[in-house]
Amino acid sequence: MQKPFITSWSGGKDSALAFFRAVQQGHVPIALFTMFEEDGERSKSHGLKKQILSAQAERMGLPLVIGQADWAGYEEEFIRHLQNFKEQGIEMGVYGDIDLQDHLDWVEKVSGKVGLDVLHPLWQEARRSLLEELVEEEFKAVVTVVDTARVGEEFLGRVFTRELIEELESLGIDACGEEGEFHTTLVDGPIFVEPLPVEFGEIIRNGQYSMLEVKLQTGE
Amino acid sequence: MQKPFITSWSGGKDSALAFFRAVQQGHVPIALFTMFEEDGERSKSHGLKKQILSAQAERMGLPLVIGQADWAGYEEEFIRHLQNFKEQGIEMGVYGDIDLQDHLDWVEKVSGKVGLDVLHPLWQEARRSLLEELVEEEFKAVVTVVDTARVGEEFLGRVFTRELIEELESLGIDACGEEGEFHTTLVDGPIFVEPLPVEFGEIIRNGQYSMLEVKLQTGE
């Protein structure tokens, strides 16, 4: 059964692959949904500016819906958006989680409150096969955030390739970064009509996290 | 200004390029719209079965809306669908015409009746530059219908490449096929999340038109 869906969009490789698979299954994407910091400046966790996420959405031919909240108001704001989606006839939310049970439980809880179905196309799949698929399908994701307690800054700006996967694994790092070891920014792939023209700026340090600034090449 | 749009979808190269450009301009696609013969078996002009158009739509992550009419009821059925689109909040229709003034006039007339905007992203552009763009952007279109009064059956099944363009032009044939000299079926390109797994069957002859049967490789 084809369902109209929104996809939880971080701008990185896992949400991209989850979206890709949902479309391959015949579901119909209506919008991307991203949570931002309360000041609206940057997205949660991946720390991307709206400009970058909007440029990704444009290349997917989809509108970007933004929620804004601090962590205290996060759940309420998230549910408010899910309720809006439901009222617009959207039937399902798609999420890129691989095996964070707590997060899946939370997503099912808040979705259940408004009667939205949930799809986790990557759930409990072998990390290696997910990474292989990303590379084979020619997704191009760049490492833009690292948790320096676990991953060195020298990985910032690296494109996600077979070599990078092997390098991360040889260092004992989960190459999916599922637990926040690092985050990526998608700059090209089969879900984009054209590549994202990005350039990388300074490294911004925030506690143990180091983030490579991502900007669009043309204008701000 | 971003506008939600429907695209007039033949399944061939011109409607694909028009769609691609509309998305590049930041507009948001909501559905594909294709007119079929009254019996619902095949699409008008390109003669494609619903199965093929649905498989294309799936790879674009969009629903396919089908109108059905004989030529006498065509305009009424077309307007009825445009009216539905308008009522769903869709603001614009996108069309792949290059320079058929009569068709553009007709599209503007019927769209004006229901208050839908119209975009013709290819209008009056040099045919050669359109063809170059299709090849450069890696659209893969196959010739599946020829008007044998102007184009030989040996072109059926040929992929649209630079060589094919030059061959057609050397024979004095408009390589865009704008006046119905031939039609193409899109099997891959930057607007698809994955290629269409097609195989070609028999040649079906209908008066001066010869049509190569297009089927999906897996199942009917």
Mind listing the pLDDT tens digit for each residue in B202-220?
Answer: 999 989 999 999 999 975 4
ipTM above 0.85, yes or no: no
Q: What are the residue ranges of helices labelled H in B25-175?
A: 50-60, 74-87, 101-114, 127-136, 162-170
Between positions 94 and 153 of A, the ones with CB within 8 A of B are 137
Distance CA A103, CA A134 (A): 23
Mutate which of B21, B27, B28, B193 to disrupt the A interface (most A C-beta within 10 Å)?
B193
Q: Is A27 left (phi over 0), alpha (psi -120 to 50) or beta?
A: beta
Confidence of residue B107 (pLDDT cuts 50, 70, 90): very high
Distance CA A126, CA A99 (A): 10
Between positions 43 and 82 of B, the ones with CB within 8 A of A are 58-59, 61-63
pLDDT reported for residue B159: 95
Closest CA to B12 of B58, B43, B39: B43
Q: What is the DSSP letter of B113?
A: H
Distance CA A178, CA A220 (A): 31
Q: What is the CA radius of gyration of chain A?
A: 17
Work out the widest C-alpha separation in chain B, in whole angstroms. Answer: 48
Cβ contacts from A onto B, under 8 A: 41
Question: B61–A28: do the CB atoms touch at under 8 Å?
Answer: yes
More confident residue, B6 or A218: B6
Work out the widest C-alpha separation in chain A, in whole angstroms. Answer: 48
A32 to chain B: closest CA residue: B28
A196 to chain B: closest CA residue: B24
- Classified as helix, coil or strand, B68 is strand
B87 touches chain A (CB under 8 A): no
Count other C-beta atoms under 10 Å from residue A178's C-beta.
17
Q: Which residues contact B18 (CB under 8 A, 6 or more apart)?
A: B7, B8, B94, B95, B96, B119, B120, B121, B122
Q: Which two tokens stand for residue A169?
A: 């694994």
> For residue B34, which amino acid is it?
T
User: Does residue B23 surpass a pLDDT of 80?
Assistant: yes
pLDDT reported for residue A30: 96
pLDDT reported for residue B134: 96
Count other C-beta atoms under 10 Å from residue A83's C-beta.
15
CATH match of A127-216 with 3.90.1490: yes
Distance CA A192, CA A60 (A): 5
pLDDT reported for residue B152: 94
pLDDT reported for residue B184: 96
* CB A60 within 8 Å of CB B62: no
Mean pLDDT, all residues of chain B: 94
CATH code linked to domain B137-216: 3.90.1490.10
Question: B61–A193: do the CB atoms touch at under 8 Å?
Answer: no
Helix (H) or strand (E) holding B90: none
- Exposure string for A198-207, b = 16+ CB within 10 A, e = fewer: beeeeeeeee
Mutate which of B3, B7, B28, B91 to disrupt the A interface (most A C-beta within 10 Å)?
B28
Mutate which of A28, A92, A136, A186 to disrupt the B interface (most B C-beta within 10 Å)?
A28
- Classified as helix, coil or strand, B153 is helix
Residue B176 C-beta-side C-alpha neighbours within 13 Å? 22
Count other C-beta atoms under 10 Å from residue A125's C-beta.
16
Per CB-CB distance under 8 Å, the chain A contacts of B6 are none
Per CB-CB distance under 8 Å, the chain A contacts of B28 are 61-63
**Which one of A26, A137, A193 has the shortest CB-CB distance to B23?**
A193
Name the residue with tokens 């799949």: A125
B4-119: CATH topology:
Rossmann fold (3.40.50)
A188 touches chain B (CB under 8 A): no
Domain ranges of chain A: 4-119, 127-216
Q: DSSP labels for A6-51?
A: EEE--SSHHHHHHHHHHHHTT-EEEEEEEEE-TTSSBBTTT--BHH
Q: What is the pLDDT along chain A (220 residues), one digit of tens a residue?
A: 789 999 999 999 999 999 999 999 999 999 999 999 888 888 887 889 999 999 999 999 999 999 999 888 899 999 999 999 999 999 999 999 999 899 999 999 999 999 999 999 999 999 889 999 999 999 999 999 999 999 999 999 999 999 999 999 999 998 888 888 999 999 999 999 999 999 999 999 989 999 999 999 975 4
pLDDT reported for residue A133: 95
Stretch B159-176: mean pLDDT: 92
Closest CA to A157 of A184, A190, A134: A184
Question: B61–A2: do the CB atoms touch at under 8 Å?
Answer: no
pLDDT reported for residue B220: 46
User: Does residue B78 surpass a pLDDT of 70?
Assistant: yes
